[in-house]
A and B are shown apart, each in its own frame.
With several copies, the nearest count.
Chain A
Amino acid sequence: MTAHNSTTHTGTAAPATRPAAPMTMAAALNAAIRDAMVDDPSVVLFGEDVGPLGGVFRVTDGLYAEFGETRVSDSPLAESGIIGTAIGMAIYGLRPVVEMQFDAFSYPAFEQIVSHVAKMRNRTRGRIQLPIVIRIPYAGDIGGVEHHSDSSEAYWAATPGLTGVTPSNPADAYSMLREAIASDDPVIFMEPKSRYWSKAELALPVRTAPMNQAVVVREGADVTLIAYGPTVKTAIATAELASEEGLSIEVIDLRSLSPFDDETVSASVRKTSRAAVIHEAAQFGGYGAEVAARLTERNFYYLSAPILRITGFDIPYPSPKLEEYFLPTPDRILAALGTWEWS
């Protein structure tokens, strides 16, 4: 990293409201980082290949050219190094946005994330805050080779001190990333790779629901499907299929995995009395266990049936030619709902 000659660290143009335009999730994320950098000179961006290349998913495309080496830089190839140095920068008052190139490549940084990022504020009685955003492209369905399709959310969710969010669409991607960068808490920002090229019409800077809230994305009466990130689309498709068969499904996009929005989700479950949680990660010890356990604890006497988990199998994420058998599909979800006693 080279120091700037001048003391200004802002970009070239302040973000204003722009006309609506179709935009991919990758572009929305890009705009969110750019706008945050323009608004706040303490935001810096670094990681592997995020500079001239613009990241392997092009999420940081153009930012190096716009903001220069002082604020956007390629780091040496070491994930623990990326998180560890981000911590030091945050102590000094910067707000680092860093990228772990693929989910499984966040694991070398596990100690820095779990033992420091998550615990620094508590350790220091709130005196040191770490406003760091750790962007992690995660999950599968992109035909990726091994280690490129992990869903690692259970690790982060099980770690007190971390905030974990995941957008499922371009509007949330923009809004939630802005909010994550503005947060004084460290945020694990999980980007569903298979949704990077999904598109929506957006007028930036768009503001959706606060990032710690779940959202009912489709109303229904009979069943609540709880999804997040890549599986929201699957859940909606399932609801559409089901409606043809006369089953009314409510779909919730969790958005925030930690904290969990008990209020919104419990309200839906109390209404429908039946719920299932959908995720790509393996079931055993997965995030869905927390969802099922806490909803059951809080709404036991409202439930007509056990909360189901429709998830990946308890095996490592498969190779491209086998991932179709692994990922939850609308058919599989509907079949699972059919196993309930429907009295």
Chain B
Amino acid sequence: MPHDCVMSLNVESAPVITQPAPTPLRLIDDAGLAVDPSEAGGFALPSPEILLGLYRRMVVARRFDVQVTALTRQGRLATYPSALGQEACEIAAVASLGALDWLFPTYRDSIALLTRGVPPEDILASFRGEWHSGYDYYQHKIAPQATPLATQALHAVGLATASKLKGDHTVALTLLGDGATSEGDAHEAFNFAAVWQAPVVFLVQNNQFAISVPLDKQMACRTIADKAIGYGMPGYFVDGNDVAAMYAVVSAAVDTARNGGGPSLVEGLTYRMEAHTNSDDPTRYRDSSDVDAWRGRDPIERLEKYLVSVGVLTDAERADITREAEDLAAATRECMTRTAVIDPLELFEHVYATPRTALAEQRDFLANEIAEHEAAAAKTTGESA
């Protein structure tokens, strides 16, 4: 593009972004009451029907999370990072996306996968240690759950940019933790997205801890949403335990992205109720009184109060939701009884699309070794029989 001679290209062209208010946006308060529209930042409270749907998904997701944590305590999974307490963020993220949109989750976001339709068995494949990741990415339009922090944010920006280049309307949404925003990749993702005006939404679940490190040792700004200013994109500071607000804001951000309005950063302020993973010991670094206080801000209970107050959460509905949740828990337990057939020779199969002689040799070596072991074992069995 030709440059007119101006003092700075950006001062004239870049948008003025206002710093978000220091109180998180909420549409339903702790007590389950709808906040006054004048304080709702221009966002409308979703309809009771939508909220009831979100409620159902949150209850089901929590049941899954609790079930998987229990299985992990029994030693049946290698690890499981729980999202208990973060259901409002996770479910709002998924509910805001269309079928063709893509989700870029982390290790913590199993319930987002569940909500988007990934079968429990496929979610748990990696946590059971069967394979590094185990679902159908293109069917669900979900990237593999990322472990190296913030790296997936760049993948989301790339996919969104590709969608834009192709003239499609696919939006990408990526989930990030508060800690992950400190990584260089988070910065590069925010900046590439803003410069390329990629249709992407960054949803930071600020659960206030990165393993043991609390937010104030992670960053010195007021809110994570403040960071958006430095990229020239809108930032939203939202009560991450209010699914109504999360859904309203994330949906709007997705719409903006889809309509060519570029990226947004949404911070959901929440709290990690469980340990980081089963191998973590949170008593070493935080007071249980904090956890207790946050228990009082539970995203499900809050919505429940509201739904009861507006009369859509009937006993029948409740029973039906409980049934769905229990069925899922049962299915989850049941899938653990099926031992996945793992073929060690598959180790060599997917490393490259182009076959390699050396890998074929190694595959044969392992096949031979296994056959010999089996033969030896059979012989021992035969002898002892």
Residues of A bordering B, CB below 8 Å: 1-4, 7, 9, 44, 48-49, 51-54, 56, 70-71, 73-81, 83-94, 104-105, 107-108, 111-112, 115-116, 119-129, 143-148, 160-161, 163, 183-185, 212, 259-260, 262-263, 284, 313-316, 318-322, 325-326, 331-332, 335
Determine the distance from Cα of A137 to Cα of B136 in the docked complex, in whole angstroms.
Answer: 32
Expressed in whole angstroms, the minimum distance between the Cβ of A286 and any Cβ of chain B is 13
Contact B179 A88 (CB under 8 A): no
Collect the chain A residues with CB atoms within 8 Å of residue B133's CB. Answer: 123-124, 146
Identify the B interface with A (CB < 8 A). 78-79, 102, 107, 126-134, 136-138, 143-144, 147-149, 151, 153-167, 170, 172, 179-180, 182-185, 188-189, 191-192, 195-198, 210-213, 217-219, 279-281, 284-285, 342, 344, 346-354, 356-359, 362, 366, 369-370, 373
- Choose from A53, A124, A145, A263 the contact partner of B79 (Cβ within 8 Å): A145
- Residues of chain B within 8 A (CB-CB) of A315 are 347-348, 351, 359, 362
A88 touches B160 (CB 8 A): yes
Known: A48-B210, A76-B218. A92 touches B128 (CB 8 A): no
Contact A85 B347 (CB under 8 A): no
Question: Quick check: A259 and B183 within 8 Å, CB to CB?
Answer: no
Interface residue from A4, A81, A108 paired with B165 (Cβ < 8 Å) = A4
Check B165 against A74 for contact (C-beta < 8 Å): no
Additional A-B contacts beyond A78-B184, A92-B102, A314-B362 (18; CB < 8 A): A3-B165, A3-B167, A4-B167, A52-B284, A52-B285, A53-B285, A78-B191, A84-B153, A84-B158, A88-B158, A92-B159, A93-B166, A112-B185, A145-B107, A161-B352, A314-B359, A322-B347, A331-B373
Selected contact of A262 from candidates B136, B153, B165, B358, CB within 8 Å: B358
Q: How many angstroms between the C-alpha atoms of A9 and B168 in the bound complex?
A: 13
Smallest Cβ-Cβ distance to A184: which chain B residue: B353
* Chain B residues closer than 8 Å to A319, beta-carbon distance: 126, 129-132
Residues of A within 8 A of B188 (CB): 76, 78, 80-81, 84
Please measure, in the bound complex, the distance between the C-alpha atom of A94 and the C-alpha atom of B164, giving whole angstroms.
12
A52-B284, A74-B213 are known contacts. Are A146 and B147 too (CB-CB below 8 A)? yes
Q: Are A314 and B137 in contact (CB under 8 A)?
A: no
Q: How far is the CB of A161 from chain B (nearest CB, A)?
A: 6
**Which one of A115, A145, A263 contacts B126 once the chains associate, using CB atoms below 8 Å?**
A145
Write out the residue numbers on chain A whose beta carbons fall within 8 Å of the beta carbon of B285: 52-53
In the bound assembly, the distance between CA atoms of A143 and B353 in angstroms comes to: 27
B138 touches A212 (CB 8 A): no
B148 and A127 within 8 A (CB): no
A116 to B130 alpha-carbon distance, docked (Å): 19
Q: Which residues of B contact A259 (CB under 8 A)?
A: 356-358
Docked Cα-Cα span, A318 to B211, in Å, equals 25
B107: chain A residues at CB < 8 Å are: 145
A91 contacts which chain B residues (CB < 8 A)?
102, 137, 143, 155, 158-159, 162
The docked-state distance in angstroms from the alpha carbon of A84 to that of B148 is: 12
Residues of B within 8 A of A212 (CB): 354
In the complex with contacts A74-B213, A124-B144, A94-B165 CB distance below 8 A = yes
Closest to A7 in B: B167
A3 to B359, CA, bound (A): 41
Q: Which of B211, B212, B280 counts the most A-chain CB atoms under 10 A from its CB? A: B212
CB distance from A89 to the nearest CB of B (A): 4
- Chain A residue nearest to B279 (CB atoms) is A56
**Is the CB–CB distance between B347 and A318 below 8 Å?**
yes
Q: What separation, in Å, do the CA atoms of A302 and B284 have in the docked complex? A: 57
- Which residues from A are CB-within-8-Å of B129? 143, 145, 319-321
24 pairs, A vs B, C-beta closer than 8 Å: A2-B197, A48-B211, A48-B213, A53-B212, A56-B280, A74-B217, A76-B195, A77-B149, A78-B188, A80-B185, A81-B192, A84-B155, A84-B189, A88-B162, A89-B159, A89-B161, A91-B102, A92-B163, A112-B185, A123-B132, A124-B350, A127-B137, A145-B147, A160-B351
Contact check: which of B132, B148, B151, B192 meets A76 at CB < 8 Å? B192
- Min Cβ gap B369→A in Å is 7
Contacts of A115 in B (CB 8 A): 148, 151
Contact B127 A3 (CB under 8 A): no
Chain A residues whose CB sits within 8 angstroms of the CB of B191 once the complex forms: 76, 78, 81
Q: Min CB distance, B205 to chain A, in Å?
A: 14
Nearest 5 A/B pairs, CB to CB:
A88-B158, A84-B154, A320-B129, A85-B158, A81-B188
- B370 neighbours in A (Cβ, 8 Å): 325
| Min CB–CB distance B103 → chain A (angstroms) | 12
Q: Name the residue on B nearest A69 (C-beta).
A: B1
Question: What B residues does A145 contact at CB under 8 A?
Answer: 78-79, 107, 126-127, 129, 132, 147
| CB <8 Å contact, A94 and B151 | no
- Give min CB distance, A216 to chain B, whole Å: 18
**A147-B147 in contact given A81-B188, A125-B131, A284-B358 (Cβ < 8 Å):** yes
Tell me which residues across on chain B come within 8 A of A78, comparing CB atoms: 182-184, 188, 191-192
Q: Which residues of B contact A44 (CB under 8 A)?
A: 165
Cα(A73)–Cα(B164), bound, Å? 14
Determine the chain B residues whose CB is within 8 A of the CB of A4 once the complex forms: 165, 167
Which of B149, B164, B369 is within 8 Å of A332, CB to CB? B369
- Does B347 contact A313, Cβ atoms closer than 8 Å? yes
Q: Which residues of B contact A122 (CB under 8 A)?
A: 132, 350-351
